[in-house]
Structure 1
Amino acid sequence: MELFERTEALNVLEELLAHAVLGKGGVAMVSGPVASGKSALLHALAERSLDLGALSISANASRMEQDIPMGVLSQLLQDAPLVAEERDRALGLLTEGSRSAMSSGFQPGALQQVDAQIVHALCTVLLELADRYPLLITVDDAQYADRASLLCLAYLARRVRATRMVMAFGHPDQQLQSENFFQTELLRQPQCRHIQLEPLSRGGVTALITERIGLAAPEQFTDEWYQLSGGNPLLAAALADDYRDHVRTGAGPPNEVVVSDRYGQAVLSTLHRGEPETLRVARGLAVLGEPDGLALLLGSSPAQVTREMQALTTTGLIRFGVFRHEVARSAVLRDMDVQDRMDLHRRAAELSYDAGAPAVVVADHLLQASKCGAPWLVTVLEEAARSALRNGHVEDAIAYLRMAWRECADETYRAKIMTMLVRAEWRINPVAPAGHLNELTNAMHRGSLRGSDAIVLARALLWHGRFDDAREVLEQLNESEAIEDPETVSELVIAQLWLRTTHPPFQQHLRHPVKELGLAAVASVAASRRLESALALAEVLARGPREEDMGSIERILEGSRLDEMSMDTVENALLALTYAGQCERATPWCDLFFVEASSRHSPSRQARLAAIRAEIAIRKGDMQGADHYGRIALDIIPFSGWGVAVGGPLSSLILAATATGNYHAVADHLEQPVPESMFQTRYGLHYLYARGRYSMAIDYPALALRDFQRCGELMTAWELDVPGLVPWRADAAEACLRMGRMDEARQLVEAQLARCDQETPRAKGIAMRVLAATSELRSRPALLRQAAEFLQRSGDRYELARALYDLVEAHQGLGEQRRAGLIAAQAQAVTKECRAEPLTSALSRGEDVDAIALPLANEVTAALSEAERRVAVLAAIGYTNREIANRLYISISTVEQHLTRTYRKLEIHGRADLLPRLRFDGQGAAESLRDA
């Protein structure tokens, strides 16, 4: 491999060798950080030696052979081209020198002494060889050479000045104190050249990587490659190899710098080439993650740690006191002995706790530590878990709580920790905590689980349909003594409201006397918001929406974030807006919290928000969106993990597929087994309604009526009979109409209308559409136009399409084909927007809507005044002049004047030509009719 930015150093060495060929020998000390290219430089010089007229002999010292006397010198003499007599003499001298060193009281690591005569004789062999051939002697990693060899090499270095010999040694900047004599001895010689290798520059790193990967280095990566390598050629080459490996997988060029196994291996190789103490400090740094407290952790002096940290910095492994990449730190940790690593983490945990470090820092060490047994362990882990949950690090919180639960000896405290664990696991997947429910139930029976923790257990049991166990938990809560703890009191009130809106049959089982609680007594701001949102939802489902409440619900959402306990707040508030018919308000909030749940790695919350988003989409007539979000919900949480709540996303999928005519998909959804216990929950109402709509679509009105009636019976029994939840009476009336039961149908739809007001335009529009079907033909257009107005105001595009379709049929029945065709054009635009294929096909089979002129752009109506436009819109969809006058509170004469001016401006002959000239695409129709 080419030597990058080492050309000048190689030139100096070649110049020394050229002088030696002419009889003027020299010594070179090549130093630099570990893995800076010293070995590659010496190897390149050895390869060039023959071209320069010299023979090369080399040796590589090793830490493992450092205590073998004469080991390095033996390598040199064995590599030298000696005749047989010289080789025998050299081997004999080596044996004698080794014996001399051993007899001088040798112990591993001791300063060996060799008889001066033997040293002289051995050096003479090499000097005589240099007399015959110019000689290059290279010794790499000279810091690991045995002392006996160093004595001989120092002796030889002092005599090379008048010989044809060059001695070149590779030596790192950091060395042991006992080896300083050799470097000092060489550098004081006048014939010695010291060559210091510096880290590669940014350009050098780029050139090295370019050559390594075989193509031009991507410009966007060069800065990061330089930062990650620190100019260390070995690390830079490893980054190139990681890049090349990624490309070879067939994945194509990466979008970001690849830092993988090759880089980690290069880090370890660099460390193992260095000093043991440097490696030890690197391991301590990997455990701590930062240099603070490193000396205490390792039991070393601050000066020693500072020196080794400097060595790590110059080597390019760390920057600003930390590893340049997490891959490097991970590699160092994996390379450690398991027990040693665990002991260091235990020590780090203790030191961090004593220093007052954040609980999360201490807990991270405890997770990796050997047995600690500290009295503060459980409380620190619990505190760390709460902090992790607040910051969205759910997996970390789960790990802390699991360890706390294992280490906790107090049964009551242990049950409390398990309850926290259930909450945390729930945020990942509601299936996960199911395995803990039996243990918590047993703890409840033993009296170890009480108050708010028991409520958490009851809610988990209800979710999974374990109603008998949940009932027992609730009954035990009733039997508990008077509760004074504000947190528990708050949770009891919130639980009562939650049961009221989600599991109504169970409300009677939680009868703890907490009626006197007011908002001022709630334990915290978060609990207050949860209570307010639960109350808001209960109010909407009990009495219907009130405009004055909508602002307060949005203020609750403004102050909420998806921290540990706020999902209920967000869910209740979003559902309150949705059931109140405020889908346009609910949509941006739901999208915002969905993104936040994703950023906080809370899949369960993502799924629950997706289910709400699907319900919102249904009520907006966005069937494609409902299918999209419904599938997201069931993809994130497996079907079985939804428990009784599966009716939420599943009903949205059924309704969307029914509306779009995808009946095969509906059949697949309905084949999914749902828990029977679901029909004792709010989710069951949605499922019954969706199944009934499908039965109507495939012309089984009797089956549909049964589902609608059951839905109504449950809503009535639970006192949740508001049209904003499920408009069951209107659909039951439509089923009765299909079955020829006209009187019953009219009674149902009139009862539905009696429950509707201006705050429930969607339910009222649906009901008026069905009312039109129970009325005489001549009365239907007026009723259907009113239905369309309410549905436009509600924003439900699908129900609007159904009303417009019925209006087309009504005009056709009255023989008003031209008007029917004009309305059909508008209806078809809306049905296509909703992807309501059955309606689109039905419209296409009627009047030839394709023959109707398409609406022109907005500038056509720009010439009209606001008053003229309002009159024109109403006239276009079939209102008479008298009806327009009554609606707009103007005289009939004024209506006639507006129409006359409109005909002139649009260059048309009468109202039959109005609709083709007005813009009635999906959004335009809603805007025009709403304004009118």
Structure 2
Amino acid sequence: MTPLVERAAELRALDFVLGQAFEGNGTAVLIEAPAGTGKSTLLAEAAALARMQEARVLRARCCPREAQVPWATVRQLLDPHLSDEDRSLLDGHHAVRPPTGHDGDAPPVHRFHDLYLALLRLSRRAPLALLVDDAQHADDLSQQWLAYLARRLHGVCIALAVATRTASGAPGGVLTAELVACPEFPRLHPLPLSEQGTAQYLTDRLGQGLGEGAAALCHKATGGNPALLDAVSEALSRTGTPPARITGEQAVGVCDRALLRALPLLLNRHAPAVAAAATAVTALDRVAGLPLLARTTGIDLPTADQAVTALEDAGLLHAGPPWQLTGAVIAQSLTAQAGEHTLDKLRSRAAEALRDLDAGPAEIADMLLRTTPDGQDWRVPVLREAARVAGERPDPPAARAYLRRALAEPPAAGDRPQLLTVLGITEVHLAPGSAVDHLRTVLEGEQDIGVQTALVPHLAEALARTGRAEEAVALLDRLAGRIGEDDRETLYRLWAQGLLVLLEETPHMADAWVARARIADDLAGSSPGQRLLLAALALKTTLTGQCAHTAAGYADRALARPGPREEPALTTAFAATALLHADRLTDAAHCCDQLLGDDIHDQPAPLRSLFMAMRAKIAHRMGDLASALTLSRQALALTPPGQRYQPYVTAQVINALIDLGETEEAERLRSTSYQGPAGNHWSWAVLYAARARTHYAHDRHHTALEELDVCARQMRNGGYDNPALVPWRSHAARVHQRLGDDGTAMELADAELALARRWGSPRAIATSLRTIGRLQTGLEAVTTLSEAAALLQNTPARHDLARTLTALGEALHATDRRAEARTALRQALDLADASGAAPLSERAYRALLATGARPRRKRQSGLRALTERERRIAALAADGMDNQTIATSLFVSRRTVEFHLTHVYRKLAIDGRADLSTALAAGHIPPQGSPAARRPSPRSGPPSPEAVS
């Protein structure tokens, strides 16, 4: 007999039971499993073990056709071995009816006892092993007598082994109940084979191992079910190909054909509910709970539970909930057996069941997407609600899918225009061509100026995205001409929205439109619409790199008269963007702090993430790198991949990590950052530049140049070639210098300086000058770097000043002006230490040592001495978290948290946790509950502003 695979535990249990019985301590064992898992094979092994011990084996295999025949199972067991006198106990005239609950109908116990005594007489000649297979089909009288026997095995040489099929559809019998109720009787549950077991099983049956990977594919196809593996092994042997030469592709094809035949036969051996459950899981792909399965299949909860348990034990379902089929081949076989029409009906019933079970709109809508439209009244409202929720997440592709499905249902005639409107707006960034068609359909014949004003900017943006910018401008002009002088506020808002549309795709047309329509004339900022338009003009001027002073002037007027609470947050966001890149960092920080105030929850998630990222950028430039990293990480948590500002936010995290010296973490984020597809949006240029920095930090200079080339094309094509946004030429110049190409490096730096001087912000000019100064030598380098440092001395850009002073100190030392070098380097070291910029601090420290100075020891106490990990743990502790909760949230041990907190207390010179909040607040680390550190829930809202790096 072929050795059993992965049944060692079951065989040991059977051997133990038989050994105990044959020593006079009779006992019983119950084998429970679904069809095809090898119960009969285990009984055969038990028979072989019994015969090896010279025992007499009595076997019975029950079947449904004999379930109503009195004593049918007992006759199989005992007829060949009883005397004529004992056999008469089973004659027809002794037959009794099964119990009905009335005393007069109960079978006579003395007759059961007479059979028991007859069995005892047999056992005196040789030990007995009674093996009953498929006991779920045993007749009632046989089950009662075997249960009677099981209670009287102690002290006799009789072993009873009973195998029963779970979820067979047969009514529960007294025999199984009796064996389950006795804890001394072992219960065996043979499981599907593992991948290794499957390989061994097939090797045993084929006589040779399969080719590399083929056995794993067979396991994946069958779930390790022995019955299905038998069908597969038979099909493999018929191919005529030696097992070792069977390829993976060939194995999959064989499994497909074998399971198409064998799987229906296997399921038919169970109750109909098992096949129904398997088909339902096939239709739904994933079933989250029993109530859904029961309602979809129309069976009760206990039966559904038995069905999925049988499928799990058979290796056809992954253990749940949720439940899923274990292999694609099983799914294909069940799909072919059921047919698409049946599966579609099951999905429709599942959608109704989810509705009745109060599931979320997205869960119901996802199921409806897989069904055929049938016009049921309840479907369209559910799909619309799911689209609304998807828009708040935000998940535009899902929202679009739900809305398109709602239109196909179809909706009532009165609901169609609104659905087309929402769908068109949703498609502007996903499928602008389709958005044009849908929005035009809505606008045809629409006379309401309010509706037109709301929709035309979206249509104009879609037109611009499809390369029809002139058509977009004409559309905006026509609408502006229809707005009367008595409604200037609407006109201002239209102009602001039009500017944003044109800035997204064609900034040069935005300038032309402003000049032709005289949009910027006579704007005092006296109304919300004027202030929004002024903020949009400030943004346009910033993005196109025209003049920092002009951009800041627009921003000041936009912020001069704060309006009521309904003032658009975009007004402040656009103005803050202009102030940030005009080096008005303190004013920009004030704007962002307003945006991150108590009403931050009222803003949609994309805007919240953008506001946090902008505030992080300001903190970075002002030399607070730890706060920059904390804020940018929180912003990143609010921006799912594909969201408009996700590249920008990711770049802020990468830049902060690099300047803090966490280059390995920056590299991990670079490698996992969202990859595209990239549009013309400014945020991609920022991310490409940040990626280039990580490559440069790891000496991948040519790869860094490739990223910067993409960044350059992005900015030029988008019309955003302002070095205040992304100084990509300075980045590229440093890479070329490292590669020994000083000529190209200087060309890039000179070109950037010209653009920076046109823009006019001190930091942009100083950045270009610092790059040029590092390319120069001698007095030229000192002169250039001195100019850069002078520009930055009176600005809040402390991090840039530290970098410039370090370069100046090195240049001064190179020209043997040691005293001046030490002065510059000491200031640079103080600034770098204060900002937490470890690599820059180390560079300044070494340069200072090289001058012969004896600098003070690096900061060992105070807030700036905390490491990034210590800051994070301290902030969580100050927010009230206990050590174990902190350890869980950061995926570290509690001992690690305690270790870091001990260092925090020492460096901050405090006694313990109670003083943490005060100490951290003094250093401006935002506690976890502050507006700047919250992670509010996503919401939908107005179009996002075009803020930049």
TM-score, normalising length from structure 2? Answer: 0.53
**2:272 is the alignment partner of 1:276:** yes
| Residues 198-247 of structure 1: CA deviation (Å, up to 9, x unaligned) | 7999xx9xxxxxxxxxxxxxxxxxxxxxxxxxx983458769979999xx
Asked if the contact 2:636–2:649 (Cα under 8 Å) also holds between the matched residues in 1, the reply is yes
Once residues 234 and 490 of structure 1 are traced to their aligned partners in structure 2, the CA distance between those partners, rounded to angstroms, is: 75
Contact 1:200-1:233 within 8 A present in 2 as well: no
SS in 1 for 2:374: coil
Which residue of 1 is the match for residue 51 of structure 2? 50
Paired residues of 2:57 and 2:129 also in contact (CA < 8 A): yes
Matching residue within 639, 647, 651 for 1:611 = 651
Q: Once the 2 structures are TM-superposed, how far is the Cα of residue 569 of structure 1 from its aligned partner?
A: 4.8
Mapped contact 1:29–1:195 kept (Cα < 8 A):
no
Native 8 Å contact 1:33 1:311 kept in 2: no
Q: Deviations over 1:324-351 (max 9, x none)?
A: 5246344599446354333122023234
Contact 2:809 / 2:821 at 8 angstroms: preserved in 1?
A: yes
What is the aligned counterpart of 1:668 among 706, 710, 725? Answer: 706
Q: Does 2:803 match 1:796?
A: no
**SS class of match (1:50):** helix
SS at match of 2:369: helix
The within-5 A match list for 1:729-878 is 731=768, 770=784, 772=786, 790=794, 794-796=797-799, 799-807=801-809, 809=811, 816-817=817-818, 820=821, 849=850, 852-853=853-854, 855-856=856-857
For residues 660 and 857 of structure 1, the distance between their equivalents in structure 2, rounded to whole angstroms, comes to 26
Q: Partner residue of 1:709?
A: 754
Pairs within 5 Å for 1:555-704 = 555-557=594-596, 565-571=604-610, 574-575=613-614, 578=617, 581-582=621-622, 584=624, 586-597=628-639, 600=640, 605-613=645-653, 631=670, 635-638=673-676, 640-641=678-679, 645-652=683-690, 664-665=702-703, 667-672=705-710, 675=713, 678=716, 681-682=719-720, 685=723, 689-691=727-729, 694=732, 698-699=742-743, 704=749
SS in structure 2 of the partner of residue 382 of structure 1 = helix
Q: CA deviation at 1:550?
A: 2.8
Q: In structure 2, what is the Cα distance between the partners aligned to 1:461 and 1:820?
A: 57
Q: Indicate the residue corresponding to 1:325 in structure 2.
A: 320
Distance 1:737 1:549 in 2: 30
Q: Secondary structure at the match of 1:373?
A: coil
Kindly indicate whether the alpha-carbon contact (under 8 Å) linking 2:433 and 2:462 is maintained by their aligned counterparts in 1. Answer: no
> 2: distance between equivalents of 1:770 and 1:660?
29
Distance 1:686 1:151, change over 3 A: same
Whether the aligned pair in 2 keeps the contact of 1:617 and 1:626 (CA below 8 Å) is yes
Q: Counterparts of 1:623 and 1:796 in 2: how far apart (Å)?
A: 17
Structure 1 residue identity aligned to 2:134: D
Contact 2:432 2:463 in 1 (8 A): yes
Separation (CA, whole Å) in 2 of partners of 1:10 and 1:525: 84
Aligned partners of 1:239 and 1:263 also within 8 Å: yes
Which residues of 2 match residues 23-172 of structure 1 at below 5 A?
42-43=43-44, 45-56=46-57, 58=59, 60=61, 138-144=131-137, 170-171=163-164
Aligned mate of 2:360, from 355, 358, 362: 358
Amino acid corresponding to residue 593 of structure 1 in structure 2: A
* Aligned equivalent of 2:528: 518
Aligned to 2:434: 439
Residues 1:56 and 1:310: Cα distance change in structure 2 (over 3 Å): same
How big is each residue's C-alpha offset from its partner over 1:658-715, in whole Å with a ceiling of 9 and x where there is no partner? 89998645543454485588455335545784326755963565664444434655x5
Deviation string, structure 1 residues 768-823 (Cα, Å, up to 9, x no partner): 975945xxxxxxxxx96x668557x53325x434334435655776x754554675
Question: Conserved in 1, the CA contact under 8 Å of 2:369 and 2:402?
Answer: yes
Distance 1:242 1:795 in 2: 66
Say whether 1:196 aligns with 2:179: yes
CA contact (8 A) 1:264 1:327 kept: no
Query: Match of 1:56, SS?
Result: strand
The answer to whether the Cα contact below 8 Å between 1:526 and 1:566 also exists between their aligned partners in 2 is no
Match of 2:115 in 1: none
- The equivalent residue for 1:289 is 288
Distance 2:680 2:686 in 1: 9
Distance 1:200 1:274 in 2: 27
Give me the whole-angstrom Cα distance separating, in 1, the residues matched to 2:395 and 2:21. Answer: 61
Change (3 A) 1:166 1:679: closer
Corresponding position: 1:540 with 2:579: yes
CA distance in 2, matches of 1:808, 1:167: 92
Letter in 2 for 1:275: A
- Is 1:711–1:728's contact at 8 Å kept on the other side of the alignment? yes
Asked if 2 retains the 8 angstrom alpha-carbon contact of 1:613 and 1:629, the reply is no
After TM superposition, the structure 1 = structure 2 runs for residues 7-22 of structure 1, keeping only pairs within 5 Å, are: 11=17, 15=21
**Number of residue pairs aligned between Structure 1 and Structure 2:** 688
SS in 1 for 2:57: strand
Q: Is the 8 A contact 2:463 2:469 kept in 1?
A: yes
Among candidates 381, 384, 389, match of residue 382 of structure 1: 384
Q: Of the two structures, which has the highest relative contact order with CA contacts closer than 8 Å and spacing of 6 or more?
A: 2
Matches within 5 A, 1:306-317: 306-309=301-304, 311=306
Query: Identical aligned pairs, as a percentage?
Result: 16
| Cα 1:60–1:685 shift into 2, 3 Å | farther
Q: Which amino acid aligns with 2:674?
A: I
C-alpha change, 1:7 and 1:809, in structure 2 (3 Å) is closer
Residue 373 (structure 1) shift: 2.8
CA offset digits 1:858-882 (Å, max 9, x no partner): 6999xxxxxxxxxxxxxxxxxxxxx
Shift of 1:592: 1.0
Give the Cα separation in 1 of the matches to 2:693 and 2:168.
Answer: 76
Task: Give the CA deviation at 1:643.
Answer: 5.4
The 1-side partners of 2:352 and 2:690 are apart by: 53
Aligned counterpart in structure 2 of residue 416 of structure 1, from 409, 414, 421: 421
SS of match in other structure, 2:349: helix
In 1, Cα distance between equivalents of 2:222 and 2:757: 63
Contact 1:56-1:135 at 8 Å conserved across structures: yes
Uncovered stretches (5+) of structure 1, i.e. residues with no partner: 21-26, 82-125, 188-192, 205-230, 251-257, 427-432, 716-720, 746-765, 774-782, 862-926, 928-932
CA-to-aligned-CA distance 1:300-339 (integer Å, 9 cap, x gap): 5xxxx14425645987969xxx995246344599446354
1:327-476 matches, within 5 Å, as: 328-331=323-326, 334=331, 335=334, 337=338, 338-353=340-355, 357-391=359-393, 397=399, 399-401=401-403, 403-404=405-406, 406-407=408-409, 412-413=417-418, 415-419=420-424, 421-422=426-427, 433=430, 436-448=431-443, 452=454, 455-456=457-458, 458-459=460-461, 467-468=469-470, 471=473, 474-475=476-477
Equivalence for 1:550: 589
> Following the alignment from structure 1 to structure 2, what is the Cα–Cα distance between the partners of residues 548 and 482?
36
CA pair 739-171 structure 1, distance change in 2 beyond 3 A: closer
- Counterpart CA distance in 1 for 2:454 and 2:199 is 53
Give the C-alpha shift of residue 422 in structure 1.
Answer: 3.6
Kindly indicate whether the alpha-carbon contact (under 8 Å) linking 2:22 and 2:127 is maintained by their aligned counterparts in 1.
no
**Alpha-carbon distance between aligned partners in 1 of 2:367 and 2:565, rounded to the nearest angstrom:** 31
CA apart distance, 1:404: 3.6
The CA distance in 2 between the partners of 1:459 and 1:135, in whole Å, is 87
TM superposition shift of 1:566: 3.3
Asked whether the equivalents of residues 560 and 569 of structure 1 are also in contact (C-alpha less than 8 Å), the reply is no
> How much does 1:609 deviate?
0.8
